[in-house]
Amino acid sequence: MRHTPLLGRRTTVVTMATAALAVAVLAGVALAGPSESPPAVAATPEAPSQSDVAVGGDTSPRTTPARVAYLGDSYTVGTGATSAAEGWVSLLDDVFGWQGMNLGCGGSGYVSPGGSCGETYDERIADVVASRPDAVVVSGGLNDARSTDDLNELKIEIDKTFADLRAALPDAEIVAVSPIWGAGRTPPTITIMGAVVQTAVAKVDGTFLDIGQPLYARPDLMIDDGIHPNDGGHRAIAEAVAEALVEVAVARDDAEAEVPAS
């Protein structure tokens, strides 16, 4: 098991408390409407420090923020939000104290080349490597589901993407987020892709985050195009990802605690 800046063993109490606070902050903001103020809390929480949120292979605090590269689509870019700061990626970076490098490209996916960059995820791995990340978060699938029904091609390209990422970044944490759909009924292709992504990232000793469908049946979380999330939608995604990260970290700590000391 790879122990790295985002998810590792022997998580400190401070780290998990900070992670829980991050989820609570996101949940509080998400519960407030896009034009409302977040609910009041007993004390105004400070932003998590870069040392608090780092979860490494030991309990010593990090002195620099974890560098996290995000490889994804227009959701990753933050399309639909009123500003880049309101996108789910920026919200995660803010609450966890990460130094994020957003390498999202609208229209792109595992097989779908982006409308602006003209490249699939695999074709942008060189950009990920150039960002010198401690961890890589891969998210997407909507564009692939909208552009192809060739499940064999999807499997081949998904497997290749994660294999190439691991070969290029042997020491980095690789985290895959389950494919996100909008407010409408989730198509079977998205569900199948989720299973394929889970298997592919496991093969390279990475982590899969199943965040469900935080936008499902919530047209109020979408902008008028019906495809992209608004500020509230991005907050809902950020909250779901944060909760999944905490769940994985807790599970790893529990598993570590059950292993007898040598």
**63-90, pLDDT tens digit by residue?**
689 999 999 999 999 999 999 999 999 9
Q: Is the pLDDT of residue 61 over 90?
A: no
Domain annotation covers residue 215:
yes
Q: Is the pLDDT of residue 35 over 50?
A: no
pLDDT of residue 57: 40
What's the chain's Rg over C-alpha atoms?
18
DSSP-assigned letters across all residues of 160-179: HHHHHHHHH-TTSEEEEEPP
- Check which CATH number belongs to the domain holding 48 and give it: 3.40.50.1110
Domain annotation covers residue 242:
yes
Residue 213: name the closest of 248, 203, 205, 193 by CA. 193
pLDDT digits (tens, 9 = 90+) for 109-123: 999 998 889 999 999
Give the sign of the dihedral formed by CA 232, CA 234, CA 221, CA 82: positive
The set of residues, in sequence order, having a beta carbon less than 8 Å from that of 18 and lying 6+ positions away, is: 48, 49, 52, 53
How many domains are there within the chain?
Answer: 1
pLDDT of residue 114: 86
pLDDT digits (tens, 9 = 90+) for 20-33: 565 666 665 444 44
* pTM, rounded to two decimals: 0.81
103 vs 83: CA distance, rounded Å:
16
- The boundaries of the domain holding residue 46 are 13-258
Domain annotation covers residue 226:
yes
151 vs 157: CA distance, rounded Å:
10
Domain annotation covers residue 6:
no
Q: Exposure pattern of 62-88 as b/e (b: 16+ CB <10 Å)?
A: beebbbbbbbbbbbbbbbbbeeeebbb
Domain annotation covers residue 2:
no
